[in-house]
Structure 1
């Protein structure tokens, strides 16, 4: 009976820890990316996209900080707020730089898609630009996870490794992008649920998958991911 009670208590503590991890990470992520979230909720993205492109890079450190929280949680830490702040401080410079490059590249590609939409070359150009956009997003996601794992590494080296693995393990990158696409769709219809409940779950799945993808180039030990 005592053993059953002990197991039950441990299970309850694990569930509570996971719930706390998710809710606290969501709250901190919201604070770290508040300007971008406000623009997405209060404006029409089709018209406010220049402001969104400017705000997006400054939300990137919140994402890398969330990834750092997941890494520390996998190693046994329970200090979500402290790990988030430490992750933000350690990664904000490369995260903003990467976010700026990714935002600019995606804007250029999407503007090109709009340009070719009324052109006879669109049937060839648009699918090609679409693939480039997805590839850029896949590389960017891997690079954000790599920054969280190795904040002191050169961004150039992380991008090179991410590009190689995004192409070599494209099926894993596709899974991560599908998860984030589902999160974006949820945000478009139910932003409160997407931000308050689902954001950390989607990011955790993308982080775990991307971390596995990066194993050949990063010194990642086998740790529990739940």
Structure 2
């Protein structure tokens, strides 16, 4: 007759594993969730016509002019998100009204920069389509694609500078954005990849994707943009990342 030997449980050790998370960690998590939800709400309200059109039209790329005009609203909405995220660094639970205050404050500059960038991207996209089957396509098309990526990366940084350096002139801002996009190319590419994933997700499932992805993507893009612009903007001496770590301009 054999018996089962039970080993005693050491004192202080529970039979079930527990996840112990400190109060500061929970506070940071809920702060990030709050920021994402506010940004998503602000983006939904300020881009409502575009979202409705995307929900109704199955193939938006067939109507480039119509959706290009609707896409103008993305610029000031993104600049407002950056403004809100900057405000949230001082107030972890910054209210929704801070987003719309940033929207009003940055509307004119962000709309001007975003509209000019969209126009340039439209020209580049048209050239790529027209030259796709031409004999010089092997040389010109890759060059145009790289140029379009650089323009888009610089455009994102220009929107961040609406909040970070509002007193900087347009020409100087363009030079700083282009230089920073090239110098910190990995950060720019990560930001563009996240924005592309968020945009494609919203196009496929507007309600579900809009509730989660854009705010998360813009949160990372904001941190990346500040890090990319830090060496060129000495007027911003200290940059705080999402986790609270600080990095100065090099």
- When the two structures are superposed, what TM-score results if normalisation uses the length of structure 2? 0.81
| Contact residue 176 and residue 206 of structure 1 kept, 8 A | yes
Match of 1:165 among 177, 180, 188: 180
How far does residue 124 in structure 1 lie from its aligned partner after superposition? 1.5
Match of 2:131 among 104, 110, 116: 116
- State the structure with more CA Rg: 2
For these two proteins, the number of residue pairs brought into alignment is 220
Match of 1:100 among 115, 122, 129: 115
- Rounded to whole Å, the distance in 2 between the matches of 1:84 and 1:151 is 17
| Contact residue 90 and residue 151 of structure 1 kept, 8 A | no
In structure 2, do the counterparts of structure 1 residues 210 and 177 end up closer, same or farther at CA, with 3 Å as the change threshold? same
Stretches of structure 2 that go unaligned for 5 or more consecutive residues are: 1-20, 244-250
| Contact residue 31 and residue 92 of structure 2 kept, 8 A | no
Runs of 4+ in 1 over 4 A off after TM superposition: 7-10
- Rounded to whole Å, the distance in 2 between the matches of 1:172 and 1:19 is 23
| Contact residue 17 and residue 78 of structure 1 kept, 8 A | yes
- SS at structure 2 position matched to 1:79: coil
Q: State the Cα RMSD in Å.
A: 1.8
1:75 equivalent in alignment to 2:94: no
1:21 equivalent in alignment to 2:35: yes
- Rounded to whole Å, the distance in 2 between the matches of 1:188 and 1:55 is 14
How far does residue 204 in structure 1 lie from its aligned partner after superposition? 0.8
| Contact residue 35 and residue 55 of structure 1 kept, 8 A | yes
Match of 1:128 among 139, 143, 152: 143
- Rounded to whole Å, the distance in 1 between the matches of 2:178 and 2:186 is 14
| Contact residue 61 and residue 91 of structure 1 kept, 8 A | yes
- Rounded to whole Å, the distance in 1 between the matches of 2:214 and 2:70 is 18
Deviations 1:15-37 (A, max 9, x none): 32222221121011110111222
| Contact residue 57 and residue 97 of structure 1 kept, 8 A | no
- Rounded to whole Å, the distance in 1 between the matches of 2:129 and 2:201 is 25
Structure with bigger RCO (C-alpha 8 Å, 6+ apart): 1
| Contact residue 65 and residue 88 of structure 1 kept, 8 A | yes
1:52 equivalent in alignment to 2:67: yes
Deviations 1:166-200 (A, max 9, x none): 12222221121111122223223332222111110
